[in-house]
Amino acid sequence: MTEGWIECIPNFSEGRRPEVIEGLREAIRGVPGVLVLDVHSDPDHNRSVITFAGPASAVAEAAFVAIAHAAKAIDLREHQGEHPRIGATDVVPFVPLSGSSLEACVALAHSLGERVGGELEIPVYFYEAAARRPDRVNLEDVRRGEFEGLLTSIASDPGRAPDCGPARLGPAGATVIGARLPLIAYNVYLTTSEVRIAKEIARAVRHSSGGLRFVKALGLDVNGRAQISMNLTDYTRTPLARVVELIRREAHRHGVDILRSELVGLVPEGAILDAAAWYLQLDGFEQAQVLEARLTAMREAPQPGDLGFLDRLAAGTPTPGGGSAAATAGAMAAALTAMVARLTIGKKKYATIEARMGVVLESAEGLRHRLVGLAQDDATAFEAVLRAMRLPKETAEEQASRDQALEAATLQAARIPLSVALAAADAAELAAEAVEIGNVNAITDAAAAVAMARAAFQAAAWNVRINARGLRDPEPAQQWEEALATADQRIEAAEGRSLAGLRARAEIA
């Protein structure tokens, strides 16, 4: 089985010496199989964040090499910067990507921590999902007192004893290693130099002091400008736009405004699209409406026989699922019909039907490409349903907003398999015609296309009906049932034509 991919985003306590930052990047890039995705350095924070990804074993090796390099190049006894820190390599989070899981990241964190503590003799603390103690889940709790405070307490205070490695600090300090889901590191600068205002706004925004859930925030002085530095730990439940607007309102209370903002490292595409849809008031907006996203989806959508798609289908993830498989089966039906048409066109024996087979070929190819796109659309639609289900519902207003989003997402999740079912009926009719008049040497291929179209229809119809059950408004479901009944009749007729053609032309009962 293919090894799952993992993202790693180590934070290093160095943002001012380019040669050290480049050395860290090169150390990571030198590990085969690892892709360095981004390097972000901030001289005021005196901190660099390097984002890389790859198979689990390669990512673990790259993280170890980087920690070892940082231990030689960065001396925490001489370090100064605005950002809290306890180590040269301050924090190393692992994030699951395709084919991986949070549990795999936890195991990777523990394995790396034992190696760092043993081979490099650097104290290691585990946090977030990898935490071995409840008081170490939150990074800010582990890092409280920073390097200077930990110097005196690590050996004397049992509560500060590391999870791995020696209970003493060297020039490289300690390292915090963990596993978590994706977060957004996001900073907002205010039109003031008064850090007091930034601290008050940070207090209003962060969850631990009564603000928004899944938001961690600090007020800092960065190069003479008040900054709110944040980690958004679940943008699907506390969207970026909501955070920005709360900061804006709080800033206005103090007579200031937002000057600008910045991202540290990479951000999930969905977070930016959600913010754009909120500000533009694009109700019902879907990622598939973005031109580049649609092009990428069409290029990367599952192709019939694509073993990569089969691996993704077999993985323990909700998408792709039966809806994508149904669309792929329909695309296979159309592809088989196109093959039969091509085997017929240009043959003297079939010259009288060549023009008609040209139309069949064009129609089959159009259906094939449409169904390939629907395979990706189905996965995207179901992911939208999952996002809607994760929306907060603690207040009446949140519940109403969640219900509205879930209804819209479920409607789309039903409409796409309905399109697959209707396209499958078109594919069945084209395939039946290929059985009747196409190259007799490929007659069973055309008949197989009819059978694939029936499978695509049946699987898609089940998806339509299961999604229809989740709707509050029953009217669309009634219309869908009528459309499905008509499509079912068309496919049944195509199956009859196919069977008759097999009997008459190939003498297959």
3-state secondary structure 425-453: HHHHHHHHHHHHHCCHHHHHHHHHHHHHH
In the set 83, 110, 252, 369, the catalytic residue is 83
Question: Strand runs (DSSP E) across 210-328, as ranges?
Answer: 215-222, 225-232, 258-264
Torsion of CA 62, 64, 68, 73, to 10 degrees: 50
- Residue 167 gets which letter from DSSP? S
Torsion of CA 298, 300, 303, 306, to 10 degrees: 180
For the beta carbon of residue 213, count every other beta carbon within 10 angstroms. Answer: 12
Contacts of 97 (CB under 8 A, 6+ apart): 4, 5, 6, 7, 53
Active site residue 83: yes
Q: Cβ(50)–Cβ(10) under 8 Å?
A: yes
Q: Cβ(446)–Cβ(434) under 8 Å?
A: yes
The side-by-side arrangement of strands in the sheet containing 225-232 is 215-222, 225-232, 184-190, 258-264
- For residues 412 and 302, give the distance between their C-alpha atoms in angstroms, rounded to a whole number: 20
| Tokens standing for residue 503 | 């009997």
Active site residues: 83
